[in-house]
């Protein structure tokens, strides 16, 4: 069989390097060690990319998928971290990027009745590497309840509340549990969320939120203070967005910091 033409390796004369090129929106099984039950099986949405020097016309897309499948039918954290270096070697690149987005489930008991149900959280593993270093960022996306301190202070009856979403990204010196980050965020809000609430539970959650009002500013500051106190976390970024119940806009706040107590 005659050799097929390798168009991707042809020279490009526009002299424009590409920062990232690869594949995305690829779903793949993922096994994650969890603090509660040893191993959790989920499905990740995967992005894989490398840099492309200016003189190459294109990259070889099939090689990204080959690297992904070379680890068998399920991925683990250890081979995710190694994957950028495999991509650099296979695609002759200087930089590589791997991102895994997946739902992560926890079984939670309602606070009064004990009714148990699963609640899902968003988790992202992002690994960027070059020939000298590897950078791993862990992100959790945690839904919470917030109750407005201003509304409580000025209203004769009740106070408006809303569901919010907190996105916490961290770098760390030693591994941290996903569950620890989730609990850190949930403890910073007016109340955590549950998938099943009976009437006694609903009364309890409503009153807990009323007794613990937080602005979106309070929420990111609460998370930031607790993250700063975590000995293993070296950098963090926390973003909170409240889906306002009496406005046609959302409230939003961000804090990013290297983790040094002051």
pLDDT tens figures, 80-104 = 999 999 999 999 899 999 999 999 9
Co-location of 87 and 163 in the same domain: no
Query: How big is the CA angle at 86 (ends 81 and 87), to the nearest 5 degrees?
Result: 105
Rounded Cα distance, 178 and 222, in Å:
18
Q: Write the CATH number for 187.
A: 3.10.270.10
pTM (whole model) above 0.75? yes
- Based on the fold, state whether residues 172 and 251 are members of the same structural domain: yes
Domain-located, residue 157? yes
Structure confidence at residue 259 (pLDDT): 63
For residue 26, what are the β-bridge partners?
Answer: 46
- Under a CB-based contact definition with an 8 Å cutoff, are residues 255 and 220 in contact? yes
Check pLDDT > 80 for residue 58: no
36 pLDDT exceeds 80? Answer: no
176 lies in some domain: yes
Domain count, the chain: 2
Residues 80 and 194 in one domain: no
Q: 174-216 pLDDT, tens per residue?
A: 999 999 999 999 999 999 999 999 999 999 999 999 999 999 9
Residues 32 and 91 in one domain: yes
User: What's the start-to-end Cα distance of the chain, in Å?
Assistant: 69
What's the pLDDT at 174?
92
Indicate whether 116 belongs to any domain. Answer: no
Boundary-marking domain end, from 98, 120, 145: 98
Residues 158 and 44 in one domain: no
Which of 45, 79, 98 terminates a domain? The answer is 98
Last residue of a domain, one of 71, 98, 125: 98
Both tokens assigned to 72: 């068998």
4 lies in some domain: no
Same domain? 251 vs 178: yes
- Residue 141 domain flag: yes
Position 77 scores a pLDDT of 86
Q: Do 36 and 160 belong together in one domain?
A: no
Are 70 and 156 members of one domain? no
How many other C-beta atoms lie within 10 A of the C-beta of residue 14? 8
* Domain match, 151 and 202 both: yes
| Residue 39 counted as domain residue | yes
**Tokens linked to 162:** 């809303």
Say if residue 262 is in the same domain as residue 138. Answer: yes
161 and 53 in a single domain? The answer is no
Q: Give residue 29's domain range.
A: 13-98
* Residue 1 placed within a domain: no
Residue 205 located in a structural domain = yes
The whole-number pLDDT of residue 14 equals 80
Question: What angle (nearest 5°) sits at the alpha carbon of residue 139, between those of residues 135 and 142?
Answer: 175
The number of beta carbons lying within 10 Å of the beta carbon of residue 87 is 24
* 238 and 188 in a common domain: yes
């Amino acid at each position: 069989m005659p050799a097929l033409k390798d168009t991707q390796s042809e020279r490009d004369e526009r002299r424009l390097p590409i920062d990232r090129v690869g594949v995305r929106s690829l779903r793949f099984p993922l096994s994650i060690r969890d603090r509660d039950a040893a191993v959790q099986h989920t499905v990740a949405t995967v992005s894989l990319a490398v840099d492309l020097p200016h003189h190459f016309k294109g990259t070889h897309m099939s090689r990204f998928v080959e690297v992904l499948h070379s680890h068998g039918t399920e991925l683990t954290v250890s081979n995710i971290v190694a994957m950028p270096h495999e991509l650099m070697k296979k695609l002759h690149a200087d930089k590589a990027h791997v991102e895994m987005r997946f739902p992560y489930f926890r079984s939670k008991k309602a606070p009064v009745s004990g009714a148990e149900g699963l609640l899902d959280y968003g988790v992202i593993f992002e690994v960027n590497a070059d020939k000298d270093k590897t950078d791993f960022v862990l992100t959790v996306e945690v839904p919470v309840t917030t109750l407005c301190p201003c509304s409580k202070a000025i209203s004769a009856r009740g106070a408006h509340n809303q569901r919010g979403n907190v996105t916490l990204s961290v770098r760390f010196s030693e591994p941290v549990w996903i569950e620890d980050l989730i609990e850190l965020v949930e403890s910073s809000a007016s109340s955590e969320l549950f998938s099943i609430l009976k009437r006694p539970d609903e009364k309890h959650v409503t009153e807990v939120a009323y007794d613990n009002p937080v602005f979106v500013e309070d929420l990111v500051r609460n998370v930031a203070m607790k993250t700063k106190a975590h000995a293993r976390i070296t950098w963090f970024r926390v973003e909170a967005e409240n889906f306002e119940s009496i406005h046609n806009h959302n409230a939003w706040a961000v804090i990013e910091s290297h983790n040094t107590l002051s």
